[in-house]
């Protein structure tokens, strides 16, 4: 298992032959998986960020997702409003 650190606060570890996992301050931040000839970037909840020709491009997509907290707020669950009777 190898570990690389980029200029961002993400730390990357190779979890399997085709999977690299990112952590930020000890928390899971996303991952990149090789699917055939493309690298799929996924965020911290597993949502696909995109398919990229290179690992570096997919890695950059995960880093952008971590740096954009407003995107994460869009997916917060909200309590449903009561129906008026």
Write out pLDDT tens, residues 34-43: 999 999 999 9
pLDDT (0 to 100) of residue 83: 66
Closest CA to 20 of 4, 8, 7, 6: 4
Q: Are 9 and 1 in contact (CB under 8 A)?
A: no
What CA–CA distance (Å, rounded) separates 54 from 57?
5
- Taking alpha carbons only, the member of 42, 30, 44, 49 closest to residue 76 is 44
Task: Give the pLDDT confidence score for residue 77 in this predicted structure.
Answer: 55
Tens of pLDDT along 56-76? 999 999 999 988 765 544 555
Which residue reads 């606060």 in tokens?
Answer: 9
Whether the per-residue pLDDT at 32 is higher than 70: the answer is yes
Quickly state the pLDDT bin for 78 (edges 50, 70, 90). Answer: low
Question: In this structure, are strands 19-24 and 38-42 parallel, antiparallel, or unpaired?
Answer: unpaired
């Amino acid at each position: 298992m190898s570990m690389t650190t980029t200029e961002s606060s993400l730390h990357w570890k190779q979890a399997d032959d085709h999977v690299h996992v990112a952590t930020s301050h000890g928390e899971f931040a996303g991952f990149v998986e090789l699917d055939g000839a493309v690298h799929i970037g996924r965020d911290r909840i597993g949502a696909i960020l995109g398919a990229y020709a290179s690992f570096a491009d997919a890695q950059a997509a995960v880093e952008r997702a971590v740096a954009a907290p407003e995107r994460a707020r869009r997916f917060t669950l909200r309590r449903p409003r009561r129906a008026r009777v």
